[in-house]
Chain A
Amino acid sequence: MYNYATAAPVAFQNWNTCMVTQQPTSDEVRATWHECCAKLRGQLSSAVYNTWIVANPLTNLEHSSDTALLATIMSPTAFHSTNVKKNFDETLRQTLSEITRKQVEIMYVIGTQSIQNGEIPKYNGIIHDIIPKNSISKSPRVEDLFSPKNLESAAFDRSQLHAKKVGLRTDYTFETFAVSTSNEMAHAAAVAVSNQPGSSYNPLFLYGGVGVGKTHLMHAIGNNIIEQNPQIEMIYSTGEEFTNQIVQAIQTKKVSHFKDKYRSTQVLFIDDIQFIAGKTAVQEEFFHTFNALTKNLKQVVLTSDRPPHEIRLLEDRLRSRFEAGLMIDIQEPSFELRTAILLLKSKAQGIPISIDLAKTIAESVDSARKIEGIITSIRSEVELKKRSLTPELIAEIISHTTQQEKRILNASPTDIIKLVANHFQLTQAVLKGKSRVKQLVTARHIAMFLLKNELSLPLTEIGRWFSGRDHTSVLHATRKVEALLLSDEQLQRDVLSIRRTLQRQGKN
Chain B
Amino acid sequence: MKIVVTTSELRQALKTLQKAIPNKPSLPILQSIRFKVTKTKVTLAATDLYFGVIAPLSAEVIVEGEAAIPGKLFNTVIQSLPDESLTLEVDKEQLVVSSRATKSTIQCMAVDDFPEFPEASGEVRPLKTETLMKINDLVLPSISKDVTRPVLTSVLLEFSKTGYRAVGTDGFRLSLLEENITGEVESTLLFPAKALSEVSRLAVLLQEDEVFLSIAQKDKQVCVQIGATWIFSRLIEGEFPPYSQIVPSSSLTNLTCDGTQLFDQLQRASVFARESSNIVQFSCLISQVLITTPTTSSGHFEGVLDDIQIKGEEITVNFNAQYLLDIFKQFIDSSVKFSFTEPLKPVLCTATNLPNFKYVVMPFRVAT
Is A278's beta carbon under 8 Å from chain B? Answer: no
Instruction: Return the chain B residue nearest A152 by Cβ.
Output: B245
**Is there an interface contact between A145 and B173, defined as CB atoms closer than 8 Å?**
yes
Is A48's beta carbon under 8 Å from chain B? Answer: yes
- Number of B residues contacting the other chain (C-beta, 8 Å)? 53
Complex CA gap A125/B318 in Å reads 21
**Is there an interface contact between B234 and A146, defined as CB atoms closer than 8 Å?**
no
**Is there an interface contact between A142 and B364, defined as CB atoms closer than 8 Å?**
yes
Which residues of A sit under 8 angstroms from B49, Cβ to Cβ? 51, 77, 79-80
Instruction: Return the chain B residue nearest A121 by Cβ.
Output: B238
Complex CA gap A48/B234 in Å reads 21
- Number of A residues contacting the other chain (C-beta, 8 Å)? 42
Instruction: Return the chain B residue nearest A115 by Cβ.
Output: B237
Complex CA gap A219/B317 in Å reads 36
Query: Given A47, A76, A140, A154, which contacts B364 in the complex, CB threshold below 8 Å?
Result: A140
- Between B47, B49, B238, B242, the greatest number of chain A beta carbons within 10 A of the residue's beta carbon is seen for B49
Which residues of B sit under 8 angstroms from A76, Cβ to Cβ? 50, 234
**Is there an interface contact between B26 and A79, defined as CB atoms closer than 8 Å?**
no
Is A241's beta carbon under 8 Å from chain B? Answer: no
Instruction: Return the chain B residue nearest A79 by Cβ.
Output: B49
**Is there an interface contact between B173 and A77, defined as CB atoms closer than 8 Å?**
no
Is A83's beta carbon under 8 Å from chain B? Answer: yes
**Is there an interface contact between B219 and A144, defined as CB atoms closer than 8 Å?**
no
Q: Mark B168-191, 1 if CB is under 8 A from A, else 0.
A: 010111100000000000000000
Q: Mark A126-149, 1 if CB is under 8 A from B, else 0.
A: 100000000011111111111000
Which residues of A sit under 8 angstroms from B174, Cβ to Cβ? 145
- Between A82, A120, A125, A154, the greatest number of chain B beta carbons within 10 A of the residue's beta carbon is seen for A154
Complex CA gap A502/B100 in Å reads 112
Which residues of B sit under 8 angstroms from A150, Cβ to Cβ? 246, 345-346, 362
Stretch of B72-80, B110-118, B259-267, B326-334 on the interface side = B110-118
Please give the distance in Å from A44's CB to the nearest CB on chain B. 11
Is B295's beta carbon under 8 Å from chain A? Answer: no
Query: Given A115, A122, A144, which contacts B172 in the complex, CB threshold below 8 Å?
Result: A144
**Is there an interface contact between A79 and B367, defined as CB atoms closer than 8 Å?**
no
Instruction: Return the chain A residue nearest B174 by Cβ.
Output: A145
**Is there an interface contact between B320 and A142, defined as CB atoms closer than 8 Å?**
yes
Instruction: Return the chain A residue nearest B344 by Cβ.
Output: A143
Is A158's beta carbon under 8 Å from chain B? Answer: yes
**Is there an interface contact between A146 and B117, defined as CB atoms closer than 8 Å?**
no
Query: Given B318, B320, B345, which contacts A153 in the complex, CB threshold below 8 Å?
Result: B345
Is B28's beta carbon under 8 Å from chain A? Answer: yes
Complex CA gap A76/B221 in Å reads 10
**What is the interface of chain B, defined by CB distance below 8 A to chain A?**
26-28, 47, 49-50, 52, 115-119, 149, 151, 169, 171-174, 216, 218-221, 232, 234, 237-242, 245-250, 277, 279, 318, 320, 341, 344-346, 360, 362-367
